[in-house]
């Protein structure tokens, strides 16, 4: 199988002693959309920075489009397009100028630069704004311009570092649609980082869950979810109670119970049958219940299982 991205044992510690990557491995097949999913600070952006030659790993090696990111950085740069977390749009230039500059930087034949720029402006619905300064663009438009710029030289691998962070729901949906269409039409391999479970679920063919600088699980979203047999039970207690975990553990049809604050989680093959027993057990132990919900496994559950904490908890630790 043709691999667009391969990384082995990537490690990186920042000057202040923050360990961003702790032996990260990654393999991405050509022509797929690959999602790196994890909370803020998990190491996703650092991975992208290393793979895009922006910075170097302390240990480990990586190849992108067949070239080593350190020894062959120049070749890697020609083969990739990058949309960084801080959008790299020049606000003091027009949309068109932003794209033309990008064409010059990648050494496109001068006569092709304008044509390609117009083509991409049209594809992202920015024709009418092409001659306006980018500082007048909305957040969603800027992000689209950013993606368009990254595509100017028709890269083989496109990196998108949290492409929809900070966008309102409408702009996010529009961006998702644009990216789906892109993957179909441009034959480009996409590596996308996100901390939105929904985004990874919708866009990625395969994904890797990253936690504390390592990949803790990988596969297709369906595979990852089907690893978790049965339904997820989430019971919110009216007040914190150490007895709750013990009470639920005694219910036989329930697996993997865990308690975080007032939130009790567990799995059951048939959730609807297990729920009354769970509620009865809690009542028997004198634990008041506020709400109880039952859900098909989500990526959040996958994350909880592999990282040992929920997404929200991991995000809080960073904040």
Partner 1 sequence: MSAALFLRHVRALTVRQLLALWRQPWFVAITLVQPMIWLLLFGALFKRVVELPGFESGSYVDFLTPAIVVMSALFSGGWHGMGWINAMERGLLERFLVSPVSRAALVASGVAQQVVVILIQSLVIVGVAAAAGARLTVAGVLVTLLVAALLGAAVCALSDGLAFVARQEETLIGAVQFVAMPAMFLSSGLMAAALIPGWMRDVVRFNPVDWAVTAARTTTGSGVDWSTLGVRVALLAALGLACTAVATRAVRVYQRSV
Q: Which residues bind partner 1 (CB under 8 A)?
A: 14-15, 49, 52-56, 74, 77-78, 80, 82, 84-93, 97, 101-102, 104-107, 133, 149
- Give 36 or 149: the residue with its C-beta nearer to partner 1: 149
What is the separation, in whole angstroms, between the first and last Cα of the chain? 40
Q: Where does 43-188 show beta strands of DSSP type E?
A: 59-64, 67-68, 80-83, 157-161
Taking the C-alpha atoms of residue 74 and residue 8, their distance in angstroms, rounded to an integer, is 20
* CB of 59 or CB of 105, closer to partner 1: 105
List, in sequence order, every beta strand (DSSP E) within 104-229: 157-161, 189-194, 206-211, 214-219
Angle at 268 between CA 264 and CA 274, to 5 degrees: 85
Determine contact, residues 15/55, Cβ cutoff 8 Å: no
Nearer to partner 1, 126 or 278 (CB): 126
Question: At its nearest, how many Å lie between partner 1 and the CB of residue 77?
Answer: 5
In the complex, the smallest distance separating the C-beta of residue 88 from partner 1, rounded to whole angstroms, is 3
Residue nearer to partner 1 on the CB measure, 88 or 219: 88
What are phi and psi for residue 15, nearest 5 degrees?
-45, -35
- In the complex, minimum distance from the CB of residue 148 to partner 1, in angstroms, rounded to a whole number: 13
Residue 173 CA neighbour count, 13 Å, CB half: 2
Q: How far is the CB of 73 from partner 1 (least distance, A)?
A: 10
Q: Is 208 left (phi over 0), alpha (psi -120 to 50) or beta?
A: beta
Q: How far is the CB of 106 from partner 1 (least distance, A)?
A: 6
* Closer CB to partner 1, 80 or 171, in the complex: 80
Measured distance CA(243)–CA(308) in Å, rounded: 21
User: Which is closer to partner 1, CB of 146 or CB of 201?
Assistant: 146
Residue 78 or 294: the one with the smaller Cβ distance to partner 1 is 78
Choice between 108 and 210, CB closer to partner 1? 108
Taking residue 94's Cβ as centre, other Cβ atoms within 10 Å add up to 19
Residue 58 CB, nearest approach to partner 1 (Å): 10
Do the Cβ atoms of 189 and 5 come closer than 8 Å?
A: yes
The nearest distance, CB 185 to partner 1, in angstroms, is 23
Check: CB of residue 212 under 8 Å from CB of residue 39: no
How many contiguous H segments (helices) and E segments (strands) does the chain have?
12, 14
Q: How far apart are CA 39 and CA 33, in angstroms?
A: 19
Give the shortest CB-240-to-partner 1 separation in angstroms.
Answer: 42
Q: Which is nearer to partner 1, 167 or 264 (CB)?
A: 167
Residue indicated by tokens 């049958």: 273
Contact 33, 200 (CB under 8 A): no
In whole angstroms, what is the distance from residue 20 CA to residue 295 CA? 33
Q: Give the nearest distance from C-beta 87 to partner 1 in angstroms.
A: 6
């Amino acid at each position: 199988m043709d691999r667009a991205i391969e990384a082995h044992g990537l490690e990186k510690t920042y000057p202040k002693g923050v360990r961003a990557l702790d032996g990260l491995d990654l393999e991405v097949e050509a022509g797929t959309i690959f999602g790196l999913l994890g909370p803020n600070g998990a190491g996703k952006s650092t991975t992208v920075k290393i793979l895009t030659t922006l910075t170097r790993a302390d240990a480990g090696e990586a190849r992108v489009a067949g070239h080593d990111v350190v020894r062959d950085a120049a070749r890697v740069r020609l083969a990739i397009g990058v949309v960084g977390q801080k959008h790299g749009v020049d606000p003091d230039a027009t949309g068109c100028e932003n794209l033309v500059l990008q064409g010059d930087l990648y050494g496109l034949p001068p006569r092709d630069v304008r044509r390609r720029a117009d083509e991409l402006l049209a594809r992202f619905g920015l024709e009418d704004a092409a001659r306006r300064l980018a500082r007048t663009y909305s957040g969603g438009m800027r992000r689209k311009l950013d993606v368009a710029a990254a595509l100017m030289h028709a890269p083989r691998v496109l990196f998108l570092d949290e492409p929809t962070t900070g966008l309102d729901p409408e702009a996010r949906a529009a961006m998702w649609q644009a990216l789906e269409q892109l993957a179909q039409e441009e034959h480009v391999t996409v590596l996308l980082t996100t901390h939105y479970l929904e985004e990874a679920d919708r866009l990625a063919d395969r994904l890797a869950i990253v936690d504390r600088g390592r990949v803790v699980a990988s596969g297709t979203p369906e595979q990852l979810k089907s690893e978790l047999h049965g339904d997820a039970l989430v019971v919110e207690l009216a007040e914190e109670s150490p007895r709750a975990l013990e009470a639920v553990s005694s219910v036989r049809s329930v697996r993997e119970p865990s308690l975080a604050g007032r939130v009790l989680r567990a799995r059951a093959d048939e959730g609807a049958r297990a729920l009354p027993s769970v509620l009865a057990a809690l009542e028997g132990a004198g634990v008041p219940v506020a709400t109880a919900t039952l859900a098909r496994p989500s990526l959040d559950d996958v994350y909880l299982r592999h990282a040992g904490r929920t997404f929200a908890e991991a995000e809080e630790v960073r904040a």
